[in-house]
Amino acid sequence: MSTFKNLGFLGKCLGVRSYVFQFRFRAKDFPIIPGLIIFLFIFMACFGEFLAPYSATEGNLQDKFLPPFFQANGSMTHPLGTDMMGRDMLSRIMVGARPSFIVVLTVIILGGFGGTALGIISGYKGGTADVVLMRVVDVTIAFPIILAAMLLSVVFGPSIQNVIISISVIIWSRYARVIRGEVLSVKEKDFVSQARVAGCSGLRIMLRHIFPNVVNTMLVMLTLQVGSIIILEASLSFLGAGIPAPTPVWGSMIAKGREYITIAWWIPFFPGFALALVCLSFNILGDWLREAMDPKLRQI
């Protein structure tokens, strides 16, 4: 059975033992279909605007409510039909992947990596800083993301920046809490004690000895949180507190299409189906990563 080692080179670059990063992936266990869906999502986010057959914002009222190609009066000219403004649904779904991808990527960088860094600092330093940070985490987790986004939308108006800020200022706390728990266990290991005896600074220990031992947990959390972030962004757009028109967003497409679901079911269905596929694929990929990186779950 073919296996391959991953991330071993990263351990060498960071100056730690490569076994910290070495784990085996069984090629036959990789979720191929979810992987292809994720690849297609990223590809459409990068190039969908250039590959879309029609404009995602301009339509023709004479072509409004055209059904998909497999229904009567449908045609391959508009394979997934058109909406109430005569805009091509396929083009709007392709272009609508970009805002979701931008939100996901930015939130992961700000919230994911930021929360991981704070979790490492809190767990390693301990003391008053740890107590204060954990109380902030408790308050942040208890605050609903939807409410934060609604407040920002009322004060500053709906925008992609407000969506990113509202999700990031809440989601970082989840990473901080989980990573802190990992650090509390790792910092008691012998190799950390040896680093202290050798005179390594706290920053060096956190970067070169503790971080490599929690990076697996961080990567799994990042993958599993992608689906949640996409759903949050779509929910905010659905409520009118997300990315404003005329930018095509899957959430707002579902919200506007629900008014016509009895006469044009395809308007809310196809964006919702795309949203469900992407979120499910990221969740499946996250579960696979968790099993692949955890030696207790991985069968050798």
Average per-residue pLDDT for the chain:
81
102-300 belongs to which CATH class? mainly alpha
pLDDT in tens, 88-143: 999 999 999 999 899 889 998 888 888 899 999 988 888 888 888 888 888 888 87
What is the Rg, in whole angstroms, of the alpha carbon atoms belonging to the chain?
A: 23
pLDDT for residue 40: 94
d(CA 68, CA 76): 8
76: left (phi over 0), alpha (psi -120 to 50) or beta: alpha
For helices 89-107 and 250-257, the axis angle rounded to 10 degrees is 130
pTM above 0.85, yes or no: no
Domain boundaries, the chain: 102-300
